[in-house]
Amino acid sequence: MRKQRIFSGIQPTGVIHAGNYVGAIRNWINLLDKYECIFSIVDYHAITVEYDASTFQKNIIDAARTLIACGLEPDRCSLFVQSQVPEHTELAWILNCITPIGDLERMTQFKDKSRQHRDNINVGLLSYPLLQAADILLYKSEIIPVGEDQVQHIEMTRRTARRFNNRFGDTFPEPAELLSNTPKIMGLDGKTKMSKSLNNFVGILEPPDAIWEKLRTAVTDENRKRRKDPGNPGICNLFTMHKEFSSQEEISEIDRTCRTAEIGCVECKKNLFENMMRCLAPVQQRAAELETNQEEVIEVLNTGAERCRKIAEEVMNEVRGKIGVRKS
């Protein structure tokens, strides 16, 4: 039986954090055997906000080596950089031409980012979800593993596929999002979503002492003011992280002993730190190896791009024929 196709993407923003890891990447690793998987470092998405061209290439390679170190090895999936396959932007243009502006103006991420970047509300920022739709539809992808913040974009992709199919004939399947067990991790402030731009993150390649310093000062259940106050794990972001990095027995034990104040927040954090590092140490080690062997990283990306170009060329030929710019 044919395997269903998975596609997902991540922006090369300079750091991959624990939110990306548990919200998306770890899920990707679990899907590798069951599906045909394509993952992209979406550089053209990242230039919709201010960025530094002189460090951008390094950020792209860093993202690639982190993803490979997490387990996205080339014999198990295709990993490539979006700009290596020019059909992404070609399809995005076509989707721009069948989408009403109002649909894009209503997108939550556009509204948030317009607020954050008041002096750079560019057309690319508005059209961002259509480049994402193009990423997905270009491979006729069926399943899209993402964090919760991306669900609206996948809905938009479905709507766009439907619109294209209605107008030009059945072409694209309507993809479904696939969320992980923890589709939203809060930042170290415990209040806002963990993200690079809010500087409230734990980077998965940060040195252990830096990670400990961040966890040590992270906000927990704010109602627990003194050591002897009982805590409520249900509202503590650190407990959410335990659920991702600790064993079942430890999770139940932390839940119980926090509620009875048998353990304090520092002890709970130390335990989390140890478990987190057990999971991240092999990733950090492989990432360090790849740092001294950039050719290997470039080779992986080139292999991925070559495979993806083949699919992209075929689908774009079909699309060009259907919209009438080429003989079909």
Q: Interface residues with ligand AMP (CB under 6 A)? A: 10-11, 13, 19-20, 23-24, 146-147, 149-150, 183-185, 193-195
Q: Which among 241, 237, 233 is positioned nearest to 261, based on CA atoms?
A: 233
Question: Binding segment for ligand TRP among 70-78, 132-140, 194-202, 316-324 (CB under 6 A)?
Answer: 132-140
Name which of ligand AMP, ligand TRP, none residue 138 binds, using a CB cut-off of 5 to 8 Å depending on partner kind.
Answer: none
Quick check: is 327 catalytic? no
Distance (Å, whole) CA 244 – CA 246: 6
Q: Give the Å distances, CA to CA, from 113 to 84, 118, 140, 183, 286.
A: 26, 8, 28, 20, 34
Quick check: is 196 catalytic? yes
Distance (Å, whole) CA 32 – CA 47: 29
Out of 67, 68, 137, 146, the residue judged to bind ligand TRP by CB under 6 A: 146
Question: In whole angstroms, how close is the CB of 324 to ligand AMP at the nearest point?
Answer: 35
Question: Binding segment for ligand TRP among 8-16, 110-118, 250-258, 268-276 (CB under 6 A)?
Answer: 8-16
Are the CB atoms for 287 and 62 separated by under 8 Å? no
Does 242 engage in binding with ligand TRP (CB under 6 A)? no
Question: In whole angstroms, how close is the CB of 123 to ligand AMP at the nearest point?
Answer: 20
Q: Which residue among 34, 58, 111, 113 is the active-site one?
A: 113
Quick check: is 113 catalytic? yes
Give the Cα-Cα-Cα angle 125, 128, 134 (nearest 5 degrees). 160
Name which of ligand AMP, ligand TRP, none residue 127 binds, using a CB cut-off of 5 to 8 Å depending on partner kind.
Answer: none
Going by C-beta distance under 8 Å and a sequence separation of 6 or more, which residues neighbour residue 125? 48, 49, 110, 113, 114, 117
Question: In whole angstroms, how close is the CB of 168 to ligand AMP at the nearest point?
Answer: 29
Distance (Å, whole) CA 72 – CA 74: 6
Beta carbon nearer to ligand AMP, 96 or 240: 240
Q: Which residue among 140, 193, 243, 270 is the active-site one?
A: 193
Name which of ligand AMP, ligand TRP, none residue 195 binds, using a CB cut-off of 5 to 8 Å depending on partner kind.
Answer: ligand AMP
Does 12 engage in binding with ligand TRP (CB under 6 A)? no
Distance (Å, whole) CA 75 – CA 254: 39
Does 161 engage in binding with ligand TRP (CB under 6 A)? no
Beta carbon nearer to ligand TRP, 144 or 258: 144
Does 13 engage in binding with ligand TRP (CB under 6 A)? no
Question: In whole angstroms, how close is the CB of 213 to ligand TRP at the nearest point?
Answer: 27
Does 67 engage in binding with ligand TRP (CB under 6 A)? no
**Residues forming the site for ligand TRP (CB under 6 A):** 7-11, 42, 45, 132, 135-136, 144, 146, 150, 153
**Which positions are catalytic?**
113, 193, 196
